[in-house]
Amino acid sequence: MPDKKGNIFKMNGRLFFFREFLKHPLEIGSIIPSSRFLERRIVQASAVASARVIIELGPGIGGVTRAILRTMPQRARLLSIEINPNFHGLVSKIEDDRLIVHLGSASELREIIAQYDLDPPDAIISGIPFSTMSRDTGSQIVAAVSSVLPPNGRFVAYQVKDQVAELCEPFLGPWRTSIELRNIPPMRIFQWEKSS
């Protein structure tokens, strides 16, 4: 039997997401949340199933957050960092002791990790739209990501456009990319693994 509460949340969540997009189009990279197909691809690309510490940048309404929580180990921790207060409030309602939801900027990543006394992340997953932010802000975020990733740590960014690749290359080197067509709009998934 379908979960009516879950379906209502999805419908209300999509409407809420669209309203936030209209208010803050430069903060939000899409007009609707990620599809379940994209969520699965992101979780797989990030090797979430074997991670101990995962950081999510820009959880939005929490679709990818929930996919990560379903897949990650029981003893793992997930830190989700959201700049939009309304999305932060929504994601904060997810009941899971492994989840930390922080209101703030991804450019302050090192300080936020220290605040929660977390080990270096095995994976950082980003849904924030690098194509709509200034080059300086994008470079600050990528520099922060690179500085906290340990050797073999993964950075996965799902994006409509490819600016993130240009920003990351000086810090993380070459990337792999794939595309998920079963998403509106189709989404590129960029992957880096930090060398030692």
Enumerate residues 6+ apart whose C-beta is below 8 A from 92: 101
What pLDDT shows up at residue 94?
95
Question: Which of 143, 165, 154 minimizes the C-alpha distance to 68?
Answer: 154
| 79: phi then psi, degrees, rounded to nearest 5 | -110, 115
CATH code for the domain in which residue 43 is found: 3.40.50.150
Positive/negative CA dihedral, 10, 12, 15, 16:
negative
The pair of structure tokens assigned to 178 is 């794939």
The answer to whether residue 149 is domain-embedded is: yes
Residue range 159-195, pLDDT digits in tens: 999 999 999 999 999 999 999 999 988 999 999 999 8
What's the domain range around 156?
34-193
What pLDDT shows up at residue 15?
54
The answer to whether residue 28 is domain-embedded is: no
Per 3-state DSSP, the chain is made up of helix, strand and coil in percentages (nearest 5) of 45, 20, 35
The answer to whether residue 18 is domain-embedded is: no
Q: Please tell me the pTM assigned to this model.
A: 0.85
Rounded Cα distance, 48 and 85, in Å: 26
Which parts of 27-153 are beta strand (E)? 53-57, 77-82, 99-103, 123-126
What pLDDT shows up at residue 19?
55
Q: Domain total for the chain?
A: 1
- In sequence order, what DSSP letters do the residues of 141-175 get, joined into one string? HHHHHHHHPPTT-EEEEEESSSHHHHHHHHHH---
The answer to whether residue 7 is domain-embedded is: no
Residue range 51-61, pLDDT digits in tens: 999 999 999 88
Ranges under pLDDT 50 in the chain: 1-11, 18, 21-22, 24, 26-31
